[in-house]
Amino acid sequence: MITIKSLFRTKSVDQIMGDQAQFSESVHGSGGMKKALGVVDLTALGIAAVIGAGIFSTIGTAASAGGPAVVFLFLFTAIACAFSAFCYAEFASSIPVSGSAYTYAYASLGELLAWIIGWDLLMEYAIGNIAVAISWSDYFTSLLSGYGLHLPAWITMDLLTASRGYELVQELLNTGVSFTDLAAKGVSNASIEAYQAWTTAPQIFGFHIVADIPAMLITALVTYIVYIGIQESKRVNNIMVLLKMIVLMMVIGVGAFYVKPENFSPFNPNGVTGVLKGVSGVFFAYIGFDAISTTAEECKNPQRDLPRAMMYVLGICTLVYIAVALVLVGIVKYDHLAVGDPLAYVFGPEGANVHWISGFIGISAIVAIFTVLLVFQLGQPRIWMAMSRDGLLPKVFSKLHPKYKTPSFSTIVTGLFVGIPCMFMNLTEVTDLCSIGTLFAFILVCAGVLRMDPNRPKVAGRFYTPYINGKYWFTGMVLLTVVLLMLFNADSMKSFFTYESWDSFRHKIPLWFFIIGMGFLTMLTYVKNLSLIPLLGLASCGYLMTELGWTNWLRFGIWLAVGLVIYFLYGHKNSKLSAKAQGV
């Protein structure tokens, strides 16, 4: 029987650790998962996940919208992540098992919210990796083209993009426009390539065979590496991260000599709105924190090394992002940076005109995106495994390979879950959807720390989020923010309360929920003396979620609704806590 109490039942830390140890012993013998990761390996995994496609592509779009002030976006994002990182570090130190935010929520917020965040993480990792695989394919085919090796368009493009490009071009051709005049009519090269992919593709029973084969192949390779063991994954990742960082240091060092001070003026051309336009592309990268915590059972000393690695990753990656952004806007005027490959662009004829570095950038981009794919593909099976161990998913998802000691079935499912869709899907807004999932995970982890008693006994050797009473600090910050908005942004506040149609209103719904939530949280803080750091993490991540648009909220809500159906049909009644409640 489903009751409110049963939906929010929690598992104690001792119970989680005991279940994990008992499961490993009874099902897999005394071996369990291999303990192969130290603090350097964990830091490399985090850097691999955070510094990927974003620094080679979306950083240009963010800089073009925010100007040189885009550095504040990275600072704000780093601060928001820092608050969440403290909370992640506390949980990782207290509960060193696979499962990440899912396990943390189970210990603090209850089974229903644990399921929700687990289901959210599955979407976040899968959709994120589909996007990463497609991005890797684009960079790889571009690099081959630079060496004169041109793959057929129909094996390097997804079906949806090709069909849309065909419809667009064919519509113009039907009106009498010649193929050679398409560019003059404003048709992009991408649309023309899509048309050619569709028309040159082989057909089976009238169905056009168009698929992104390189994306599928790289997913298969990464899945194999992850499948055969954490030791092999670690070695591949460490080498590639080292290569990536060497190239980025070279880019920063060489680029610094071509910076023009006049390009930093105006420093903030589009205000706060312009700076925050790039938030989805930037935050898309910061899933790296969650990816580190999924490897807790494979760490040599997780209670010490996981918190350290999280802080190291945040500091190193923020500095790298800011340095690269400053070099970009310093070499080329910010409004010219809305290109797919900004690093290569600024060293081309429009910028520094240093051609020899372009090859290094192209290779580094492929390496960087490969490492992101590797880390994400490493994380998702371990979340499947943790949910399966608790009974919320079938037992087969927690099966460990007898030789490699990896979650073998979950790894294969993850490979199929990513490899097949990436051949056919067009995910133009995927970074937004992945970002909303990441932020939601951060919010629940911060909320989990808020639920804990700050006066509970402390265990030596564990990391704890510093307790600062938020009663006056947080209340004062909220009131100060409201006053500053009224004084310096009165027009925007006035427009916020003015709606001409449903379409204009619905885009403000997330912000309304945020405002109401902040009001409730402020009152609760004043009464309960809540801790300031998780409060700030929850508030900053909550605000960033409001910047991701109504469409992404709707898609996110649909995904969570599907997950709830599965939970109530299978997860709740098969949960180990349900079995214990029934005396099984």
Shared domain for 325 and 277, answered yes or no, is yes
Query: CA angle 385-390-395, nearest 5°?
Result: 55
The winner for highest mean pLDDT among 6-20, 326-340, 562-576 is 562-576
Res 242 pLDDT > 50: yes
Q: Provide the whole-model pTM.
A: 0.84
Average pLDDT over residues 235-262: 88
Q: Judge whether 487 lies within some domain.
A: no
Shared domain for 333 and 274, answered yes or no, is yes
Q: What is the pLDDT of residue 492?
A: 59
Shared domain for 80 and 194, answered yes or no, is no
Q: Judge whether 333 lies within some domain.
A: yes
Find all residues with CB under 8 Å of 581, minimum gap 6, and list them. 6, 9
Among 429, 448, 467, the domain boundary falls at 448
Shared domain for 299 and 196, answered yes or no, is no
C-alpha–C-alpha distance, residues 398 and 409, integer Å: 8
Nearest to 139 by CA among 350, 363, 389, 383: 363
Find all residues with CB under 8 Å of 516, minimum gap 6, and list them. none
185: region left, alpha or beta (phi > 0 left; psi from -120 to 50 alpha): alpha
Q: What is the pLDDT of residue 148?
A: 80
The winner for highest mean pLDDT among 389-398, 484-493, 507-516 is 389-398
Torsional sign, CA 37, 442, 484, 72? positive
Res 496 pLDDT > 70: no
User: Could you tell me if 383 and 125 are in contact, meaning their C-beta atoms sit under 8 angstroms apart?
Assistant: yes
Q: Judge whether 454 lies within some domain.
A: no
pLDDT in tens, 511-564: 888 888 888 999 999 888 899 999 998 988 888 788 777 777 888 888 889 999
Q: Is the peptide bond before 266 cis (omega within 30 degrees of 0)?
A: yes
Find all residues with CB under 8 Å of 546, minimum gap 6, and list them. 510, 511, 513, 514
Q: What is the pLDDT of residue 534?
A: 92
Task: Give the chain's mean pLDDT.
Answer: 82
Shared domain for 361 and 253, answered yes or no, is yes
Q: Judge whether 510 lies within some domain.
A: no
Q: Judge whether 181 lies within some domain.
A: yes
> Could you give the 3-state DSSP secondary structure of residue 208?
strand
Among 422, 448, 474, the domain boundary falls at 448
Shared domain for 246 and 346, answered yes or no, is yes
Res 501 pLDDT > 80: no
Shared domain for 206 and 222, answered yes or no, is no
Number of domains observed in the structure of the chain: 2
Shared domain for 128 and 270, answered yes or no, is yes
The winner for highest mean pLDDT among 50-54, 344-348, 433-437 is 344-348
Average pLDDT over residues 354-369: 79
pLDDT in tens, 271-307: 777 777 776 666 666 666 677 888 888 888 888 888 8
- Cα dist. 245→44, 225, 241, 284 in Å? 10, 22, 6, 20
Which range of residues forms the domain containing residue 196? 159-210
User: Could you tell me if 156 and 141 are in contact, meaning their C-beta atoms sit under 8 angstroms apart?
Assistant: yes
Instruction: Kindly report the number of other CB atoms within 10 A of residue 391's CB atom.
Output: 20
Average pLDDT over residues 420-433: 68
For residue 356, the domain's CATH number is 1.20.1740.10
Shared domain for 296 and 432, answered yes or no, is yes
Shared domain for 195 and 56, answered yes or no, is no
Among 419, 448, 477, the domain boundary falls at 448
Nearest to 142 by CA among 56, 54, 60, 246: 56
Phi and psi of 318, rounded to 5°? -65, -45
DSSP 207: E
Shared domain for 175 and 66, answered yes or no, is no
The amino acid occupying position 32 is: G
Q: Grade residue 30 by pLDDT with cuts at 50, 70 and 90.
A: very low
Instruction: Write out 227-264 in H/E/C secondary structure.
Output: HCCHHHHHHHHHHHHHHHHHHHHHHHHHHHHHCCHHHH
Res 75 pLDDT > 50: yes
CB burial readout 536-551, b (16+ within 10 A) else e: bbbbbbbbbbbbbbee
C-alpha–C-alpha distance, residues 115 and 99, integer Å: 11
Res 427 pLDDT > 70: no
C-alpha–C-alpha distance, residues 394 and 384, integer Å: 10
The amino acid occupying position 50 is: V
C-alpha–C-alpha distance, residues 209 and 512, integer Å: 46
C-alpha–C-alpha distance, residues 436 and 480, integer Å: 27
C-alpha–C-alpha distance, residues 307 and 301, integer Å: 11
Average pLDDT over residues 66-71: 85
- Cα dist. 471→82, 449, 474, 522, 529 in Å? 21, 16, 6, 8, 5
Between the two ends of the chain, the Cα-to-Cα distance in Å is 15
Q: Judge whether 173 lies within some domain.
A: yes
Shared domain for 299 and 368, answered yes or no, is yes
